[in-house]
Each structure stands twice: as C-alpha cells, then as structure tokens.
Amino acid sequence: MTLAPGLRTTVSIVVGDEDTAAVVGSGEVPVLATPRLLALAEAATVQALRDRLAPGQTSVGTRVELHHRAASPVGAPVEVTAELTEVDGRRLVFTVAAHQRDRLVADGTVERFVVDTERFLAKLQG
C-alpha cells in the first residue's frame, strides 16, 4: 500500500426525493439530508482508495466531522470531493467538501483505517 497526501476524488449527485431529510427521517423538509451527505462524503473516500490498497485489504470509517452549512433542494447538483491529507500508518484522514455549483454546502474530515478484510470479518464471528 503506497498512499500519500494529495490523492483526491469527486462524487456527484443530483438531489432526488430519496435523498431528502423528509424521506430518510433526519428532518421534515425536502432538502438534502445530512446523513445522505455524510454517505456521499464516505463514498468519495472509498472511491479515492479503490484499486490503491493491497489485495485483501479494505478501509473502514472510524471518525467523521461534518459541517452541513447550506441546504440543497431537490434537483440541485452536488459534488463531494475527498482529499487525502494525512497518512499515519494504517490511519488515513481525508478532508471533504461538498459544493452546489460555486456554493459550499458542507465540509469536514473523514478518518479511515486500512484493515485486512478477512481478519476484520473474522473478529465479527466471535
């Protein structure tokens, strides 16, 4: 595994009814739900790591800090960018930012750890 700060990727969506706070249960208004935005931020970090980890490895999310700064209505395009900013052994820290066109919608950090997939899953079996 050779990972270095600067690795970045972007995921995009157009906010649909299924992405709203009213539908996912995090509020009552038809705007992009914070949990959905968080899922997009994590998806961007996973996508950034795709094909960059050793065979048999994956990453798991361990910590998130997200500031949801502005509402995005149904039909709005939203892009979430994740940039790897810190590598500390198996610990990876990404800075994430979501934009609706030129407007900052959210920003924060996502921390992930690289794990051996089989060993990680075996621990779940007890």
For the segment 58-111, what is each residue's pLDDT rounded down to a tens digit? 999 999 999 999 999 999 999 999 999 999 999 999 999 999 999 999 999 999
Q: Which class would CATH give 8-124?
A: alpha beta
Q: What is the pLDDT of residue 19?
A: 98
42 among known catalytic residues: yes
45 among known catalytic residues: no
Q: What is the pLDDT of residue 4?
A: 93
Give 1's pLDDT tier (boundaries 50, 70, 90): low
- Extents of the domains making up the chain: 8-124
Binding-site residue positions for substrate: 61, 112
Q: What is the pLDDT of residue 2?
A: 77
Q: What is the pLDDT of residue 28?
A: 96
Catalytic residue from among 9, 20, 45, 68 = 68
10 among known catalytic residues: no
Binding-site residue positions: 61, 112
State pLDDT tens for residues 13-66.
Answer: 999 999 999 999 999 999 999 999 999 999 999 999 999 999 999 999 999 999
State the amino acid at position 126 in one-letter form. Answer: G
Binding-site residue positions for CoA: 61
Catalytic residue from among 9, 20, 42, 83 = 42
